[in-house]
Amino acid sequence: MVKLSINGRPEEIDVDPAMPILWVVRERFGMNGTKFGCGIAQCGACTVHLDGEPIRSCSTPISAAEGKAITTIEGIAAEDGTLSKVQQAWISEQVPQCGYCQSGQIMSATALLERSPQPSDEQIDAAMKGNVCRCGMYGRIRKAIKVAAGTEAPTRQESAT
């Protein structure tokens, strides 16, 4: 039995303690926003927060979450559904293409901005180096992080409906 909280909700689950957080989140909690990309912590598509720190959930056993808080992409908007600043910037900069990596990108960017509210380019490089975007939207991700940080103006104000 592992006790933890997920997106603020306390949970207790009977699961093999070696099972990676990724598969617990997806299969046991039915939250599919966190993605499987490589299985060896090389691509970052599975990034979630464990007590606020970005981790690769494909390679972190659920036992590591005992007594801790997991936050996934489903848990970063406000309770009333208002998107986080990072999510809003991802829309204003039209960041996603295929979108498969973007949950992980957003989780890494969110953690970065909590540590460094106005990150330098070098800090962005370091924080985001574990997240691959095969569609190559690195320029837009960088811009969106700066928009979310308030250091650059958004490209567009309206959002898609």
Partner 1 sequence: MSDSKFSKPPRSKAAKWTRRGFIGVGALAGGALIVGVAIRTGNPVGKLKPIVAGGEGEALINAWVKIGADNLVTAIVPHCEMGQGAQSTIAQMLADEMDVNWENIRVMDAPADGNYVSQHTVRTFIGPGTVPNRPNQASFMEPTYDGLFTQLGKLGDAYITGGSSSVRSTGQYGMRIAGAAARQMLVAAAAAEWGVPASEITTESTMLSHAKSGKSEAYAKFAAAAAEQDLPRAPRIKTVAEYKLMGMPAPRKDIPGKVDGTAIFGIDGGPEGQELKYAAVKAAPVVGARVESMDATVAKTMPGVLQILNMGDFVAVVADSYWQAQQALGAIETAYTKSEIDGLDSEQMFAGFTKALDEAGAKGGNTKADYGDAAGALSSAALKVEAEYKVPFLAHATMEPMNCTAWVRGGKCDIWTGSQVPLMARSGAAEGAGVSADDVTMHSVLLGGGFGRRLTAEYTNQAARIAKATGYPVRMIWSREEDTTQDFYRPADISRFSGGLDKDGKLLSWNNVHCTEDEPAEAALVEFYDIPNVSVRNAEVEMPLRLGSWRSVAHSQHGFFVESFIDELAHAAGKDPYEFRRTLLANSPRHLAVLDGAAKMAGWGSDLPEGHGRGIALARSFNSIVAEVAEVDMTGGKPRVTRMYCCVDAGFAMNPDGLTAQMESGIIYGLTAAMYDEITIKDGRVQQSNFHDYQMMRMGDAPRITVQIINGAPDNLGGAGEPGLPPAAPAVANAIFAATGQRIRELPIAKHFA
Which has the closest alpha carbon to 66: 4, 17, 1, 9?
Answer: 4
Strand-by-strand arrangement of the 47-50 sheet: 9-13, 2-6, 69-71, 47-50, 53-56
- 111 touches partner 1 (CB under 8 A): no
d(CA 72, CA 81): 15
The one among 5, 11, 13, 19 contacting partner 1 by CB under 8 A: 19
- 131 touches partner 1 (CB under 8 A): yes
d(CA 46, CA 100): 10
Bridge partners of 70, per DSSP, are: 6, 50
- 135 touches partner 1 (CB under 8 A): yes
- 123 touches partner 1 (CB under 8 A): no
The one among 2, 4, 6, 20 contacting partner 1 by CB under 8 A: 20
Residues that bind partner 1 (CB under 8 A): 16, 19-20, 23, 27, 31-40, 42-43, 45, 72-74, 77, 83, 87, 90-91, 94-103, 106, 124-126, 128-129, 131-142, 156, 158-161
